Structure formats: C-alpha cells, structure tokens
Chain A
C-alpha cells in the first residue's frame, strides 16, 4: 500500500495546468512538420508555420498558447494499492486547478451555473474522470479543453446496419459542419461502441494518444487512416482558409457494445492539443 498525500496531488495538478497550457508535446511538433511538408496551399503553410512560432513563443515566455485555456479535464488512474491521505482527493485537484490558473495567469473560463453564468473566478471545478487500475501508482493527466472545438463535437447513436460507411458519413458530417470554427488543423477523437456516455468518454480519451500513433487493431487503424484521408480531402485546410491539412490525425478508441447499437462520438480538438501527465 502506497500513501500519497493530497498536498502532493494539488502541487502536481498546479504544475500540470501551467505546463499543459504553455508547452506542446514532442509528437505535436513532429505532426506539424509533417503537415507543413504535405500542405499545398501557400497560405496554409504560412499559417502552420505561424502556429509553430506561436507555440515556441508560448513555451519560451510561459504565456498561454491560446487564451482559451479551457475547462480543466483531469484523468486519474488510481492504482488499487494507493491510499490517498490528508484530505479529499477531488478538493486537492480543484485546489491545484485554482492555483495553476491563478499563478500561471491563465484565463478563468468556468461559469458556475449554465444559465445564470457567473464566473467562478478560479477556473474550478475541473471535470474529473477516475479509473481504478492495478498497481500502486497514481497517474494524473491534465487536458485543458477549449470551447471553440468542443462546441463542434457530436454524438450519434448509429445502428448496426449503418456499419463502417455510417461511421465515416457521420464523422465527415461533424467535420464539415465544424468547418473553420474549431481552429484547424484539428485532431479528431472518436469513441466507437459502449453506450451513450461511454462513447463520449472514449472520444475524449482518444485525443490523449500521441499524434502519429495508430490503434493496435488493424481494422481500426485502417479506419483511422481512411478517415484522415477523407477529412483532408474536404479542402477546409489550416484555419479553414483552404488546404490539404484539415486534420493532423484521427484517433479511434473502441469498447464492446450492445447487439442493437453502434454509438459513435466525435470529439474535435483544435490544433493546440494540450495535455500534460505525471506519475506519482
């Protein structure tokens, strides 16, 4: 049994919030270089270069990559041999989010009530997803998600007869409908199977996979490739101003589903694919 004090968790979340909002991971830089090499539109290439310059500036000045520093999505993988001590786990996470967004000069974008809409002032509460796993580690992933791309996402309860063609049709419909709004080049996270809420969570998790990495199942990897090619044939391009690169990648996560269903959730991620992880 490993004991982890809540103060260590709060400190880690604070650091991860700032890191995620100001530093993009290595796979992002590689994906952007690949995109620049493939982009045929001169304006599109220029935009991709500008986005790299923006990311370099953000990292070197510890300024937010994008002013929409999002609502903080926190994934916890809690080893079943871990004991959290010193207080409430969720309070510690929100304490970390509050400190990270305040000390990092990040924007506070959360309103307390969806209709009254008063800003909570410290970007709390976070959206916390908890999973119990074997072992004695606590893995924390902070993935701030902006609303520009989140607003263009969608979920559809397809039927088994819709099959692969139905999935492709729906994903393309979401991407076409989104157009320039989610700040392309986008990353498309797809949750396939499960049920209504499982598909949505899978789609969000799919966004955490490193860019350029395929699903382990060959038929899903093939579908990812086919979707990427079709999305990049839409012509939407960088920032929606036309070009070959509408998406940097497509990631699908799957789960067993009901004999009568084929849920598909499409979570759109803007080019600022922000996430940071730590293992305690």
Chain B
C-alpha cells in the first residue's frame, strides 16, 4: 500500500492510479453540505475564508460526538455527490487538491479534477467506528454553529483509502462494475 502525506503536491497526485489503495497521514479538513454552501457563498461575496484550501484535502464527513477520553466519534464518509454543485469552484478557485468521500461524482467535478490535477479518494462507507481510530486529533476550526456540519481540522494517521478518480479522470467504480457485470 502506498503511503502519502498532506499537503498534496503534483508529484504525489500524478503517481496515484484509480483503484489503488493508499494510506494517508497528515492534516485534512472536514466539510459537508452546509459548510460547502457557506464557503462558496463567502467566496462569491469576496469575504475572507476561514480556512486555506490550497493543496489541501476535504473529507466529506459529519462525525458523531466524541465520548469522554476519545478524539472523535464514528467518522466515515458521506455521499460525495451532494457536494458536486460546489466542488468545481473549490478546485478551480481555491486550490483544493483532494477529496475523501464515497459514491459517484458529476462530469463537471471530473473535468475540474483533470484540469487542475486533483484526486478523489474513497473511504469505506459505513465503517465509521473503524475509521475514527485512525483520527489522532480533531478540532473545530470554522462554523461551530453548524454542529455536526462544522469544519474540523483532523490529523489522521495511516487513514485507509482507495483512489476513486485519479487526476487523469480514470474511475475505479466503472472499472470494478464492468468486471463483474453478468448482463448488459
């Protein structure tokens, strides 16, 4: 398994191939529906953003609250497609380089990924208890009022991922499905 660290640089990204397993360590940021809406509205209004996304990774997750003595509650990926209306702007204008989620992406997102050399990672959906163990630090850095939808800065260690869509636009879902399909 390939080990990579954040922030992502073009050399790392260009080496990643759809379907490949990687292990990620470093700082990532959480954001889901409401945080995406606010980030994009703030950008369009010309306001300063609460986080710098240049070369960063966003993890689409709204974690469970941390129990006493634990870093974070269950923290698996949410469906990425709901962020599709906002993602091309984040990639093109804000320098976002990586996304972690689950599920399909729109053609517009795939175009932005190819154009800017970004990458879409998959985490195992519904394995939130297991994934939470790889999160070593968690701290709210913006939009605290959104509760589970606040932006957290996470420090992850050996976070297990699969390359979903690589910077060349190759899609792990399509290749897997074709291989096991029994009818057309």
Q: Do A and B come from one complex?
A: yes
Q: Which of B136-184 contact A (CB under 8 A)?
A: 146-149, 162, 172-173, 175-183
Cross-chain contact A63 with B66 (CB below 8 angstroms)? no
**Interchain CB contact (< 8 A) of A270 among B62, B125, B130, B178:** B125
Which B residues lie within 8 Å of A107 (CB)? 62-65, 73-74, 148
Q: Which of A150-178 contact B (CB under 8 A)?
A: 151
Which A residues lie within 8 Å of B179 (CB)? 41, 235, 242
Cross-chain contact A117 with B102 (CB below 8 angstroms)? no
Binding site of A, secondary structure by majority: helix, strand, loop or mixed?
Answer: loop
Q: A51-B127, A58-B74 are in contact. Are A237 and B180 (CB under 8 A)?
A: yes
A53 to B128, CA, bound (A): 11
Cross-chain contact A242 with B180 (CB below 8 angstroms)? yes
Segment touching B, from A65-73, A81-89, A196-204:
A65-73
A102's closest neighbor in chain B, by CB? Answer: B65
Cross-chain contact B183 with A233 (CB below 8 angstroms)? yes
Count of A residues near B, CB < 8 Å?
49
Which A residues lie within 8 Å of B128 (CB)? 54, 63-68
Q: Is B122 an interface residue (CB 8 A)?
A: yes
Cross-chain contact A241 with B162 (CB below 8 angstroms)? yes
Cross-chain contact B129 with A54 (CB below 8 angstroms)? yes
A246 to B183, CA, bound (A): 14
Q: A117-B34, A181-B103, A270-B125 are in contact. Are A53 and B79 (CB under 8 A)?
A: no
Cross-chain contact B181 with A67 (CB below 8 angstroms)? no
Which B residues lie within 8 Å of A66 (CB)? 74, 76, 125-128
> B-contacting residues of A (Cβ < 8 Å)?
40-41, 43, 47, 50-51, 53-55, 57-58, 61, 63-69, 105-109, 117, 119, 121, 147-148, 151, 179-181, 183, 230, 233-237, 239-244, 270-272
Cross-chain contact A50 with B124 (CB below 8 angstroms)? yes
Cross-chain contact B126 with A240 (CB below 8 angstroms)? no
Which A residues lie within 8 Å of B129 (CB)? 54-55, 57-58, 61, 63-65
A243 to B175, CA, bound (A): 11
Cross-chain contact A179 with B182 (CB below 8 angstroms)? no
Is the interface on chain B under 10, 10 to 19, 20 to 34, or 35 or more residues? 35 or more
> A-contacting residues of B (Cβ < 8 Å)?
19, 34, 61-67, 73-76, 78-79, 81, 102-104, 122, 124-130, 132-133, 146-149, 162, 172-173, 175-183
Q: A50-B124, A108-B148, A271-B126 are in contact. Are A63 and B73 (CB under 8 A)?
A: yes
Cross-chain contact A63 with B104 (CB below 8 angstroms)? no
Cross-chain contact B126 with A183 (CB below 8 angstroms)? yes
B99 vs chain A, min Cβ distance (A): 15
B82 vs chain A, min Cβ distance (A): 8
Which A residues lie within 8 Å of B125 (CB)? 66, 148, 183, 239, 270
B67's closest neighbor in chain A, by CB? Answer: A105
**Of residues B104, B148, B173, B176, which shows the largest number of chain A Cβ atoms within 10 Å of its Cβ?**
B176
A105 to B149, CA, bound (A): 15
B33's closest neighbor in chain A, by CB? Answer: A117
Q: A57-B130, A108-B148 are in contact. Are A235 and B182 (CB under 8 A)?
A: yes
Cross-chain contact B182 with A233 (CB below 8 angstroms)? yes
Which B residues lie within 8 Å of A148 (CB)? 78-79, 102-103, 125
Given contacts A41-B179, A54-B128, A57-B133, 17 further A-B contacts (CB under 8 A): A55-B129, A57-B129, A63-B128, A63-B129, A64-B74, A68-B62, A106-B73, A109-B62, A121-B147, A148-B102, A179-B177, A180-B104, A181-B79, A233-B183, A235-B181, A237-B177, A242-B178
A140 vs chain B, min Cβ distance (A): 23
